[in-house]
Amino acid sequence: MGLNFMQDYSVSRHHQHQFDEGNPLAQKRILIATILTASM
């Protein structure tokens, strides 16, 4: 699960990067959402 989580997170960050550039709040929300999804 750990490795898959990191891979999924990397893909998610890459996909969202263009939208969230210069938006720390959005980046943090994506991180939290990703962690919550992975933990369920």
pLDDT-derived band of residue 40, with 50, 70 and 90 as boundaries?
Answer: confident
pLDDT tens-digit profile of 12-33?
555 555 555 567 788 888 888 8
**Residue 3 contacts by C-beta under 8 Å, 6 or more apart in sequence?**
none
Residue for token pair 């998610």: 12
pTM of the prediction?
A: 0.40
Q: Does the structure show a pLDDT above 80 at 38?
A: yes
d(CA 38, CA 20): 21
**Residue 30 contacts by C-beta under 8 Å, 6 or more apart in sequence?**
12, 13, 16, 20
